[in-house]
Structure 1
Amino acid sequence: MSIDTLQGRLDFLREAARLKDVLRSGHTSHGRVESTAEHSWRLCLMAIVFDDALLGVDLLKVLQLCVIHDLGEAIHGDIPATHQGAFPNKREQERTDLLHLTRTLDAPLRERILSLWEEYEQAASPEAQAVKALDKLETLLQHTQGANPPDFDYAFNLDYGRRYTDASPLFRRLRALIDEATRRRLRGEPPGRATESLPPRNALMPLAIRPETPDDAGSIERLITTAFQAAPHTSHTEQFIVSALRRAGVLSVSLVAEDDGVIIGHVALSPVSLSSGETGWYGLGPISVLPERQGQGIGARLMTSALAELRSLGASGCVLLGDPAFYQRFGFSCRPGLVLPGVPAEYFQALSFTGHWPVAQVTYHDAFNATE
């Protein structure tokens, strides 16, 4: 194997690691938002656990399909099943993203990965049909044991993916057990057996990403002030901008990162105007993390959660002003036709959720002119 081939495969693995930062709609048993990579890991584990009952399938191929099936989400993220009707081009977007993700691979391996993905998408083999069913069951299982938000839609689970889980007696029996756990959650009962042995959630106090509450406003202002105090290329008005957006009622998404009851990070999103008249685009920023907690992945957690919130709102896309080295990992790129006047073009980046790219001048809300 040549050095170029080895390097290309390493580059692919580095970029595929973005899947670790892609967040789903489910939560872990301690309330942390689950990543797509974690979902894929337990999907593989499920395949191994039930291998002796998966008759007539090749376990190696099943595991390959488990690993590959959501790989395209590394670029534009996960779309929750409850919102997929609003994204009819989801499959095309994921295929385009997978082509981009595998661009550094040698042709035979690239074609193999794309072939596996197509096999899964089309449920074109007994192995792909098994993975389709296990994928739905793993999602449902996580929903039943997760420390989910109070408004979590458990009723949706009772019909989700039944086309695949009804395909064999094994999947039907598993589905019946998991559906009963779903009904317990609908009745307000606590999660099932696996979580009963866990310590209380407040004993571990994991990092939580949650929407701001009215009581958070003062803490958020102090956090932003501290985060930008020594930052270069800033007017030190970021805290005023967030407050002005809130007063104007256009703070569409405002998430905080909380650790042991202390707010250590924040991200804001608000609508932007396009000269083309197109709607559904938002501006991300400011995003803030306490200086002593920077470099610990908190900003990445805020970013992925914020983008997931935008997708749930049915947004068309997002723009931001910042360091390309950081934001490119979330799928942002410079688009020649999308312009923010008065700033260096290489720092103004955009992410489309629909695949459509407007040609327009972008204008942020007047709150971005706030100075107090």
Structure 2
Amino acid sequence: MNIEKLKGRLDFLREAEKLKDVLRSAHTSCGRPESTAEHSWRLCLMAITFADELSGLDLLKLLKLCVIHDVGEAINGDIPAVSQHAFPNKSQQERSDLMLLTRSLDPGLSEEILALWDDYENALSPEAKAVKALDKLETLLQHNQGLNPADFDYPFNLTYGKRYTDADPLFKTLRTLIDQDTNAHIHRTISLRDEQAADIETITQLIEAAFCNEEHSSHSEPFIVAALRRAEQLSVSLVALDNDRIIGHVAVSPVTLSSGAAGWYGLGPISVRPDRQEQGIGSRLMQAALARLQCLGAAGCVVLGDPGFYGRFGFRAHPGLELPGVLPECFQTLAFGGPLPVGRVQYHPAFAATE
């Protein structure tokens, strides 16, 4: 038994204890900031919990990687993932800090710890790749479970660490389940209301941004909505807000049918801020607009767009109803209980607006 070696290891443990006081951006379910040590603990627990699904991997190595991966933060602390782009030297700093932390250890152990950290940081071994994914999943799990500040950035979760979690079916499935919780949080912070006069400039900018890179857009959507508003033909104009910031908009206006059928409306444009797309916001606007139309006693609604998206809300192409110059499968209809009409559909002249 080498007393000096034992003393050196105790010194290392005393230094590593600082990790208990290193705080992360995540919060616990009681609302206090989470420590890095707590994150590492549950990361170990995750590895044990899913060990039976990680066939072929060395559980002891997994656990070692879980424990070591953030130990270097004991000196200079944690940098939240959302801010790491501003710290390009984070990896080098953390490695230097780890070398400083392990300076009291005997060479064999210090080299093993550093090799484990290098393996994790560079995702070299299958075990390191697994811990990389589990690390992201634990972070997301805590973000969703924590009692967070009102301005917590839940949308960031939806893209964080996907290149690691998408690399394995188990992690991808877990990610899908956790993302469902993330989306639920996002939707709880989003409210819908009618547009107000003070919103008009923001709505115009939003629509322009939403369609800026759309391949099949005429880029006239902001002008169309403005023209409908001037003509007092915006039957429904709803905005989606996240903490009072407008992130989405939907417009609905009357259409006329050659058969004379009354009570029909055209849905669109529907716009979501580019950085908030694919988060279910457009779907919420759709559902709210359709509900509003039914409250108004509408007979039904037509829409021009992606059948895959609008089909989820009950829209279907109807051979008896046409919009001249448009592919039949892209022009879809939804009746609110009554019979489907026949004939040609004509949108308001505002849809010809180009400025």
| TM bin (shorter chain) | 0.5 to 0.7
Q: Which amino acid counterpart does residue 113 of structure 2 have in structure 1?
A: I
1:180 corresponds in structure 2 to: 180
The aligned residue for residue 5 of structure 1 is 5
Q: Which residue of 2 aligns with 1:78?
A: 78
Number of the residue aligned with 1:99: 99
- Alpha-carbon distance in structure 2 between the residues aligned to 1:185 and 1:24: 20
Pair 1:36-2:36 in alignment: yes
Distance 1:10 1:166 in 2: 39
Counterpart in the other structure of 1:117: 117
Distance in 2 of aligned mates of 1:59 and 1:113:
16
Q: Distance in 2 between matches of 1:187 and 1:80?
A: 24
Shift of 1:88: 0.1
Task: Report the alpha carbon displacement of residue 20 of structure 1 after superposing the two structures with TM.
Answer: 0.1
Matched letter for residue 67 of structure 2: V
TM superposition shift of 1:119: 0.4
Partners of 2:55 and 2:123 in 1: CA distance:
17
Partner of 1:108: 108
SS at 1:26's partner residue? strand
Aligned to 2:240: none
Q: Give the Cα–Cα distance (whole angstroms) in 2 for the partners of residues 73 and 131 of structure 1.
A: 17
How big is the shift at 1:55? 1.7
Residue 207 of structure 1 corresponds to which residue in structure 2? none
Counterpart secondary structure, 1:71: coil
| Alpha-carbon shift at residue 101 of structure 1 (Å) | 0.3
Query: Greater Rg, structure 1 or structure 2?
Result: 2
Distance in 2 (alpha carbons) for counterparts of 1:7 and 1:188: 53
Separation of aligned partners in 1, 2:75 and 2:94 = 8
State the distance in 1 between where 2:172 and 2:119 align.
23
- The aligned counterpart of 2:63 is 63
- How far has the Cα of 1:188 moved from its partner? 1.5
1:123-152 superposed Cα distances (whole Å, 9 cap, x missing partner): 010000000000000000000010000000
Q: Secondary structure at the match of 1:24?
A: strand
Counterpart CA distance in 2 for 1:56 and 1:168 is 13
Alignment of 1:53 with 2:42, yes or no, is: no
Alignment of structure 1 residues 152-301 onto 2, 5 Å: 152-188=152-188
Query: How many residues of Structure 1 are paired with residues of Structure 2 in the alignment?
Result: 190
- Alignment partner, residue 15 of structure 1: 15
- Amino acid aligned to 1:165: T
Asked which structure has the greater RCO (Cα within 8 Å, sep 6+), the reply is 1
Q: C-alpha displacement at 1:73, in angstroms?
A: 0.2
- Taking only the aligned residue pairs, the percentage that are identical comes to 70
Report the Cα distance in structure 1 between the residues aligned to 2:169 and 2:55, rounded to whole angstroms: 11
Measured in 2, the distance between the counterparts of 1:110 and 1:170 equals: 33
How far, CA to CA, are the matches of 2:118 and 2:99 in structure 1? 12
How far apart in 2 are the matches of 1:87 and 1:38? Answer: 23
CA distance in 2, matches of 1:136, 1:23: 17
Matches within 5 A, 1:114-153: 114-153=114-153
Q: For residues 156 and 55 of structure 1, what CA distance do their matches in structure 2 show?
A: 31
How far residue 63 of structure 1 moved from its aligned partner, in angstroms, is: 0.1
> How many angstroms does 1:43 deviate by?
0.2
For the aligned residue pairs, the C-alpha RMSD in angstroms reads 1.1
Q: How far does residue 96 in structure 1 lie from its aligned partner after superposition?
A: 0.5
Specify the alignment match of 2:224 in structure 1.
Answer: none
C-alpha displacement of 1:23: 0.2
How many Å apart are 1:99 and its aligned residue? 0.5
Separation in 2, partners of 1:55, 1:165: 17
CA distance in 2 between counterparts of 1:169 and 1:88 reads 31
Offset at 1:14? 0.5
Q: Distance in 1 between matches of 2:145 and 2:105?
A: 38
Corresponding residue number in structure 2 for 1:349 = none
Distance 2:78 2:187 in 1: 28
Distance in 2, Cα, partners of 1:133 & 1:147:
24
Instruction: Give the drift of 1:187.
Output: 1.1
CA distance in 1, matches of 2:172, 2:98: 32
Tell me, which stretches of 5 or more residues in structure 1 are unaligned? 190-372
- State the alpha-carbon separation in 2 of the partners of residues 101 and 114 from structure 1: 10
Shift, 1:174, TM fit: 0.3
SS state of the match for residue 176, structure 1?
A: helix
